[in-house]
Structure formats: structure tokens, C-alpha cells
Chains A and B, each alone.
Chain A
Amino acid sequence: MVKSVIRSAKPSLPGPEDIYRAVLSNGITVLARSNFNSPSISIGGYLPAGAIFESDEKLGLADFVAACLMRGTQTHSFDAIYNELESVGASMGFDSGVHNTSFGGRSLVEDLPLLLSLLSETMRTPTFPKPEVEKLRAQLLTGLAMRAQDTSDMAAMAFDRMLFDGHPYSRPGDGFVETIQSITRKDMQEFHCLHFGPRGMVIAIVGAIDPKKAVDAVSRFLGSWQVPGQVRAKEMPAHKPVKKTIRHHHTLAGKSQSDLVIGMVGPQRNSPEYMPASLGNSVLGQFGMMGRIGEVVREKSGLAYYASSSMGAGIGPGSWEVNAGVNPKNLKKAIDLIEKELRRFVKDGVTKKELSDSQANFIGRLPLSLESNGGVVSALLSIERYELGLDYYHRYADMVRTVTRGDVLETARKFIDPDRLVISTAGP
């Protein structure tokens, strides 16, 4: 049948020939790629103003600032900003992580100037109006009250705390009730003043526009931004290795399901170990119906609706973790099964068939992940953030294919020690 269904579209992976990259004189890196298949446009990006700059006493400050940027500027009120966006069906938003504050948006292509103008304005001249700060504070505190009742959130939070003890990755980006209460408008203004600036900022634009015109548009709205005092981030401290398995249970009464997180530290995104670890992780807890973990915990034992593994590789070492939601009485059984799978994984590695299946999956799924403008924006930002090279997606298939069973086993053994796990649970 395959021959009779004529294919006419060519696989079109982003590469040096169609990604336009430019660095503006103030340090902003712009990446752009055309897609004229629909009249819309997506933007995304980040600047180095993350939670890494917060003190323990003001935890949640970067998050609070990011949430406040669109609450009022020197020329627009909160309502006016959203009125401009929503009237044309556009959207825009900010979020913060440990390293960066990120942004994203989309609109019909004719509204790109509006999007960029508001992006520039909200990043450069936010006023943090007092009534808006207080409204937002109440919303953040309600968010924290809801988090305190969420088994998945509470298990994840304790997991990060134990895994990255003493490291910035141990802290929750949305802070705690007392830290959110202590943050003042002045703290926010100061944070903005010191950390928001063009140096280190990256923006990607994908959609129905000529890439050079996209770069010109960014230059028009953000090219004149200068912040001489923009503070650089300090070196990240090394994380302390876990010496023996640590367990923690967070009790939440009245819940019918418990959540568990079991894991360890994994590789960084740009390390050579990332690809073998990622393929190994696919076998462990992704491929098919959530890999080996899904097979034993869900399919064979019927213990959980979801049970899978994931890697949080980023600029620094991310977690490599298994997550599941189970009936409280099955918690121990599920943990035992997962530990057993981890032991098997580091003892025997993966089979030839398992590895080739996951390799085929990684290569085959690429066009799907790059289908939408938003998907391509994410891909371009990863290329820049992790210095993967503009030809990364052209080299990708070869990089996947050349990983051997030995590479996977070696990587698994380097990162996973079944006697030094962090096991965090939350539930009744």
C-alpha cells in the first residue's frame, strides 16, 4: 500500500539553510524560520533572570516578578495590555525557572508587531502597580494552598529537596507561604532592575514571515535596550551525591491515591551521555505504554493508571526519575517493583531489540514534534540554550543510531545506583 499512497511533502527538518540566526548589537540572539502553511506566528525565548538569583528568604521572587510583568507598564495598564492581545486573538505570557525567565506568545502574522511591542514594553518598563501586586499575591498564596493538597506536587517537592540538598535545584520556584508574604514591591523592582536586560536574551520566531524581516522586527522593538548593570549569574555549586537510599513520606489525609517519585541525578542536556541515557530512559519508562516500568506496574500488576520515567536534563544536572500514582495500600509493592526494574536495568542494560525499537521511535517521531510553529520554536531554543549547533536535527538520526547497548549500560551504571535512591511519597 505504501507505494500507492503518493507522498509529496518532503521531510523538512530545521537546519542551517533555513534557520536564520542573528545577534543584535546589544547581545540579543534572534532565531527565525519561515512556515507559510498557516497565517500564524509563534514566538518564544528567555533571558537569564531566574530563581538562581533569589535568596532563601525571598523564594518565589523570580516567579512573582514574571507574573507581574504584564500587570502594568509605564504606558499600559493590566487591562489595556490584555485588551490589545485578546482583541486580536493573540496571547503572550512569562514564566520563570531556576536559570531563566522565559516567554512565549502567538498571533496571526499581521499582529507580530503588536506582540513584539508588548513584549518589549513588559520586559523593559513594568511598573509593578501596588494593587496588582497584592491581587497577584493572593492568587499565588491560593496556588500554594492548592499545592499543599496535591499528592503529586508534594511528592515532587520533597524529592527535589532531598536529591539536590543545598543546591539551587532543591528549591521550589513558586516559593513558600512565608516567602511570598515577605516579598515587597521594592524587592520586585530591584530584581527587575538588576537581572532583566538584553545580555543573554534569546528569542525565536517561527511562522508566516520571511526570517530576515522577523529579525528586523525584533531589532526595531528591542534593539535599543541597554542595561549596563545587568548582573551575571554566579557559578552553580556542585550537588552533593546521595550516599544511601533516602525515603520520605508526606502525609495528606483524605486522599484516595498516593503519588511516588523514585530517582537520582541524571546527565546535563549537552553532555555526551545525554543521548544514551535518553534512549535507556525510553526503554525503562517511556517506549510503547511507558516502557518496562509501565509494563510491570500498570500492565502486569494493574497497580497504577500512570507509571513512567523521565529525565529533566537542562543546563545543569537534572533529575532522572520514575513517577507513579497508586492506591495507598499498594505503595510498597509499587516501590519494590520499580526498584527491581532499576536493578535489572543497571545489571543487564537493554536488549538489542529494545534499543533498536527506541532508536526507531526517536528518529520517526521527529517530524511530529516539529509539526507546529510552537514545536519548532522549542527546538530552536534548545539548539541555542544547549549549544547543540544549527545542524543538530540534520545530525540527529546518526547520533541516535550510533548509540550502542554498551553506551546505554555504561551511562545507566554511571547515574543509577539502586542502593542510593531518593524515594519520595505523598498520600494518606
Chain B
Amino acid sequence: MADQITQSVLKNGMKVMLKEIHTAPIISSWLWYRVGSKDEPTGKTGVSHWTEHMQFKGTKKFPSSMLDKAISREGGRWNAATSHDATRYYETMPADKIDLALQLEADRMTNSIYSEKEVASERTVIISEREGHENEPMFRLGEAVQQTAFHVHPYHHEIIGDMADLHTITRDDLYEHYRKYYVPNNAVLAIAGDFETKSMLKRVKELFGSIPQGATPPRLARPEPEPKGEVRLSVEGPGETTFIQFAYRFPNATHPDYIPLQVLDSLLGGASGLSYKTSRLYRALVDKEYAVDVSGWSESTIDPFLYRITITNHPKRKPEETIAALDKEIQKLQEVLVSKDEIVRAVKQARAVFSYSSENISNQAFWMGYVEMFASYEWFTTYLDKLAKVTPKDVQRVAQMYLQSNSRVIGTYIPKGRGA
């Protein structure tokens, strides 16, 4: 985490972040746009994710038939993803081939075609993607919980979008979205790997510097009012397994309470990326046979989002019994101070996970751009130190403040058997 990086802003407003790593002849480039499902009004849900798909459909210089092949031929790995707050495109390439990726990204920042034919074909692909999600009980439950947790804020809908909108969004909707948000002053390019910073920055300027600055795209801001009480819902579907999801409102990633909440998350559900058999929820629910599995999950977001606890219910338990057992565990966290040792342990776990992630150049490039979408690189480099300063009282305070039953949603997936 002693990270030497170079940050620069081009004249057109595009931010560039460069980190030299000379451990392997690999370079990973990530281009981030500040647009995600949070920027979609009703009727246009899913437009950011669909735009991401359309960005693979070609430009005049790189037609769709050769775009993916060009990267694959060089042994590169590439993909893209849309989140609530951002859309990202990455290429990890043998170091001497990175120029192709940079040319491609510069070109498709402005020159993507969006033909009617490609839009029509991609519509059914995305509908098929959504249908695949709908096969999963957990997607159905998660979607219902999220829709209930947010009535006003666009975090209300799934990133893939509502089926109704996937049928009606037009080519012009997509193109307009693309032109509005895909401007250099709304983008961050993060590159890590085996290069020399000065030369790389020069090349980035050559390729991206001439792209005209656009109007600063507005972010959709519709703050969600405070919850007015607990909401419980149920979703029915095929199967034999009951799932339960709790959703608590959590603050955004730059809020001071976010860090003690990360410790709380680690104590409850285990450290991200590690096994969690000694976490409080595993011991209280799985070990005691209320659940066969449990996981806790929060996201680093621009606006307040959710902390979700998802439970695969034990077949011999009624959902109410499991909910009561979880409540008891949360109550314990609110009433009894955690030990300092538990916090030290959470910090050591986080430190190990950071070390594992530094084996991989793609990960290091990812983190630079990722944190820039909701904070700054400093947020990342000071993360472990901030974590180490959390006290037992901090954890108790945030548990009392954020894990309140009168501001949560509890959803239950009720299986209706194999023939449903």
C-alpha cells in the first residue's frame, strides 16, 4: 500500500492515474465513466448497462467483427461492467500490446456507431441476460428488497433494468446517453503495469487529448427520505429452499461512519474474500442450525445504499425463528462492547486481503479508478490506517445507529415446491 502513483488531468478534463509495476510484462488499463444505474430515470432503467453492451458493437475504425478479435489475438483479456455509480471498461494486455487497447478506448469514447440492427440484436441478448437472472430465487428476492428499500432514489432498480424498459428503450435513447456521459471530462483512465510513466502519459495525451470536452453531465439526485418503519415482504417461486434477506440503510463510502461499519461487517459476516466460519453470524445462525448459509454485504457507493444480510434458511426452521435469532445477534452487538482483539483481527484480515490483491496487476489498476468514482485514491491508501483506529465504542455506536429494526426491509423467498 506504499503506492507511488502519478495523477494528471488532461486539458479536456480527463483524469489519468498511472502506477508503474515491473513484476511481470503486463499492463492493465481501466477506463471509468461517471455514469451508472443511479443516473437512470423511470422509463430508461437499464440504459447505462445497455450502453456498455453497445460499446462493443464497433466504430468505423474498429468494426464489431474485429474489435474483440483484435484484443484476443494479442492475448489480452477485456471486459466491462456497469454498477450503480459507474461504468468501467478494462483491458489487461501483454505490455507491448497495450497501445491497441488505448487506441480502442480513445476511439470508442466518441466514435461508436449504435446501428439500429445492432440495437435490435442486443435488446434480445439483454432480455436473455435478465431472464437468466430471473431463474435465480436470490435475484427475485434481492430485486424486491431493493425496490422496497428505495422509493425515490434510483438505487431502486436493478442495474440491468426493468423488463418493461428493456422492451421500449430506443436506439436514440442509447445514443443520447452515450453522447451525454461519454466525454473525457467525465472519465478516469487508470493504468498499472510494466511501463514508464512519462512515455505512457505522453501517449495517453496523444490519443485522448484531442477529444473535445463536453458539457459536464449532471448526476441524477433524488435523495431517499428516511424510512418510516420496518417493511416485510415475501416473494414466491419454485423450489424447496427458503431465503431471507435483511437490508439496512448504510451511509455512502466517504461518510465517517463508513469505516467503523466495515469493521462491523467484518465481525458479523467475515472478511471479504476469506472464509467466515468464525464470524458472529456463522456461529449464531449456521452453527446453531437456523441457516445453512449466511453472508453480509455492503457496497461503496456515492449515495447511501444498503447493508444486506442474506440467509439460506435451514429446512427445519421457520423463517420467523431465524429472523429472531439474527435479531438477537444484532442486539448483542448493540449492547455489549466488542473486544479490541476482534478489531485487531479484522484489521489483520484486511491487510492479508490487500496483500493477495497486490499479486495481480489488474486488481491494482482496478482499485485506482474504482475509488475515484466515489472518493479519491487517498481513501484507498489510508484505508487500513483508518480501520486500525476504530474503537469498540465506534462499532457499538454504528451498530445502534444503523442496524435499527424500524428502518429495515426483510424479504423472504417462499418456495412453492418443484411444480410451481
Partner-B contacts on A (CB < 8 A): 1-2, 4-12, 35, 37-40, 78-79, 82-83, 85-91, 93, 106-108, 135, 138-139, 141-143, 145-146, 148-151, 252-257, 287-289, 298-306, 325-327, 357, 360-368, 371-374
Contacts and interface: CB of A to CB of B under 8 A. Distances in A.
Contacts of A2: 96, 99
Contacts of A86: 270-271, 274-279, 345, 349
A361 B76 CA distance: 7
B237 A148 contact: no
Interface residues of B, number: 86
Given A138-B292, A302-B121, A367-B24, A257 B135 contact: yes
A149 B242 CA distance: 13
Interface string B401-416: 0000000000000000
B3 interface: no
Given A9-B24, A38-B355, 7 more contacts: A5-B199, A79-B287, A88-B352, A139-B293, A298-B125, A304-B128, A367-B26
B98 to A, nearest CB: 7
A88 B97 contact: no
- Nearest 5 pairs between A and B by C-beta? A364-B75, A89-B352, A302-B124, A254-B238, A302-B121
Interface string B47-62: 0000000001000000
Q: Is the interface of A mostly helix, strand, loop or mixed?
A: mixed
A397 to B, nearest CB: 11
B128 A148 contact: no
20 contacts: A1-B203, A2-B96, A5-B195, A7-B96, A79-B277, A88-B348, A108-B352, A145-B239, A145-B240, A146-B241, A150-B135, A252-B238, A253-B238, A288-B69, A289-B56, A304-B128, A305-B132, A360-B73, A365-B77, A367-B25
A83 B277 CA distance: 8
B64 interface: yes
A287 B123 CA distance: 23
A11 B196 contact: no
Given A107-B352, A305-B126, A364-B97, A371 B26 contact: yes
A5 B196 contact: yes
B94 interface: yes
A10 B355 CA distance: 22
A218 to B, nearest CB: 21
A201 B93 CA distance: 35
Interface in B185-242: 194-196, 199-200, 202-203, 206, 237-241
A361 B127 contact: no
B320 interface: no
Interface of B: 22-26, 56, 64, 68-69, 71-77, 92, 94-99, 120-129, 131-132, 134-135, 137, 194-196, 199-200, 202-203, 206, 237-241, 270-271, 274-279, 283, 286-287, 289, 292-293, 312, 314-316, 345, 348-353, 355-356, 358-362, 418-420
Nearest to B274: A91
Contacts of A374: 359
Contacts of B135: 150-151, 255-257
B353 to A, nearest CB: 6
Contact of A146 (B121, B239, B353, B419): B239
A257 B355 CA distance: 40
B19 to A, nearest CB: 14
Given A138-B289, A142-B315, A360-B73, A300 B121 contact: yes
Contacts of A149: 137, 238-241, 418
Given A89-B271, A303-B128, A368 B92 contact: yes
A174 to B, nearest CB: 14
Contacts of A253: 238, 418-420
Nearest to B75: A364
B359 A372 contact: yes
B132 A287 contact: no
A85 B97 CA distance: 40
Nearest to B289: A135
A145 B313 CA distance: 12
Given A87-B345, A304-B128, A5 B200 contact: yes
B134 A257 contact: yes
Contact of A357 (B73, B199, B350): B73
Nearest to A89: B352
A139 B271 CA distance: 22
Contacts of A9: 22-26, 95, 194
B131 A257 contact: yes
B15 to A, nearest CB: 20
Contacts of B75: 360-368
B195 A360 contact: no
Contact of B275 (A12, A85, A141, A252): A85
Contact of A138 (B71, B275, B315): B315
A86 B287 CA distance: 16
B239 A373 contact: no
A9 B361 CA distance: 13
Contact of B127 (A327, A357, A364, A371): A327
A6 B196 contact: yes
Nearest to A282: B72
B355 A40 contact: yes
Contacts of A365: 75-77
A287 B78 CA distance: 12
Nearest to B204: A1
Given A38-B359, A142-B315, A367-B24, A302 B278 contact: no
A299 B121 contact: yes
Contacts of B23: 9, 37
B128 A257 contact: yes
Contacts of B131: 256-257, 325, 327
Contacts of B345: 86-87
Contact of B128 (A90, A305, A367, A373): A305
Contacts of B68: 288-289
Contacts of B196: 5-6
Contacts of B123: 302
B330 to A, nearest CB: 21
Nearest to B124: A302
B98 A5 contact: yes
Contacts of A257: 128, 131-132, 134-135
B359 A37 contact: yes
B99 to A, nearest CB: 5
Contact of A305 (B125, B241, B355, B361): B125
A141 B289 CA distance: 13
Contacts of B271: 86, 89
B52 to A, nearest CB: 13
Contacts of A325: 128, 131-132
Contacts of B360: 371-372
Contacts of A367: 24-26, 75, 94
B348 A87 contact: yes
A303 B124 contact: yes
B122 A302 contact: yes
- Find the residue from A1, A35, A141, A365 having the highest chain B CB count within 10 A: A1
- Find the residue from B92, B131, B279 having the highest chain A CB count within 10 A: B131
A368 B26 contact: yes
A301 B128 contact: no
Contacts of B350: 89
Nearest to A254: B238
Nearest to B196: A6
A40 B359 contact: yes
B215 to A, nearest CB: 31
A352 B26 CA distance: 28
A196 B68 CA distance: 46
